[in-house]
Amino acid sequence: QVQLVESGGGLVQPGERLRLSCAASGFAFSLYTMAWYRQAPGKQRELVAKIYGGGDTNYADSVSGRFTISRDDAEQTVLLQMNSLKPEDTAVYYCTAEFGGYDYWGQGTQVTVSS
């Protein structure tokens, strides 16, 4: 059974940091491209960051230089380090796995940036 379980969300003030974690199981993790998406209230879901099996990464322009995605294939986890958070980063963040036409999604974790 495929599972993606996100953790690490919460309420922080602008300028602070959070680290999201995604624990994966039930599929050949190392083969999959892992990504974080987010959806803010009233907005479309958007790609935040992606990491390929070889370690290459892509970032949305809005988070480039502030967020870092990483993966540990041995532990089957994906991390999203988020620094210098802004109110516009407030959203539900989803962990995803993509490979060969298959994609899986976690349940999401809420991140709220507010003073």
The answer to whether the CB of 63 falls within 8 A of the CB of 50 is no
| CA atoms of 114 and 90, how far apart (whole Å) | 8
The string of pLDDT tens digits covering residues 14-65 is 999 999 999 999 999 999 999 999 999 999 999 999 999 989 999 999 999 9
Closest of 62, 57, 33, 34 to residue 46, by C-alpha: 62
Continuous segment of H or E residues that includes residue 94: strand 91-99
CA distances from 78 to 13, 42, 99 (A): 24, 27, 15
Beta bridge partners of 108: none
Residue 54: the pLDDT is 87
Residue 101: the pLDDT is 87
The string of pLDDT tens digits covering residues 63-91 is 999 999 999 999 999 999 999 999 999 99
